[in-house]
Amino acid sequence: MGVMYIGCAIFLAAALITDLRSMKIPNKLTLPAALGGLVVHAVSGGWEGILFACAGLGTGFVLLLVMYWMGAVGAGDVKLFAGIGAWTGAAFVFQSAIYSVMFAGVIGLFIVLWKREAVLRLRRVLFNLGGFLIFRGGNPFKAGWESQLRFPFMVAVIPGVISAYVYLSI
């Protein structure tokens, strides 16, 4: 296991603890982690290392920024994936994001089924989607933010990152 994965794992462990405690991932964690990834790659790989880290940082940031605009994740998650990308590169952070979204969907489905709110939530989404298509207004998935299902995204990120590591290591 390389230094980049160990550094990323330490960063993710700290992010998991803060996200579980407060449902937030603070800047004082994400920004130093992203800078740390850039510095490690600059020292170990020179200009190629810097380009590798910047490509990963940009990929992670842009992928999650789109999800942030849709109302699916918080701003801390955007910076979290920028940090993951700075440590591990574009391919790894892309895979991690895909797996994390898949795990988040499964976790969300289990929570909805557990609370027995599946029909109510599906009806609300279909109603909002219908209004969006007919009147072309607003984001149908962002309506009723206060009633939206919320859980710490790090609960899905950890298995997503582990899955990406296993997939890319094979």
Which sign does the torsion angle of CA 77, 80, 86, 92 carry?
negative
**Residue 19 structure tokens:** 């996200």
11 vs 36: CA distance, rounded Å: 10
Tell if the pTM clears 0.85, that is, is over it.
no
User: For each successive 10 residues of the chain (170 residues), what is the average pLDDT?
Assistant: 86 94 93 95 94 96 93 91 96 96 88 70 67 52 55 91 91
State residue 72's pLDDT score.
Answer: 84
Which sign does the torsion angle of CA 45, 51, 55, 61 carry?
positive
Indicate the Cα dihedral angle 153, 72, 8, 158, nearest 10°: 30
**Residue 37 structure tokens:** 């990834």
Give the per-residue SS3 of the chain.
Answer: CCHHHHHHHHHHHHHHHHHHHHCCCCHHHHHHHHHHHHHHHHHHHHHHHHHHHHHHHHHHHHHHHHHHHCCCCCHHHHHHHHHHHHHHCHHHHHHHHHHHHHHHHHHHHHHHHHHCCHHHHHHHHHHHHHHHHHHCCCCCCCCCHHHCCCCCCHHHHHHHHHHHHHHHHC
41 vs 66: CA distance, rounded Å: 26
Tally of CB atoms within 10 A around 122: 11
State residue 149's pLDDT score.
Answer: 63
State residue 28's pLDDT score.
Answer: 95
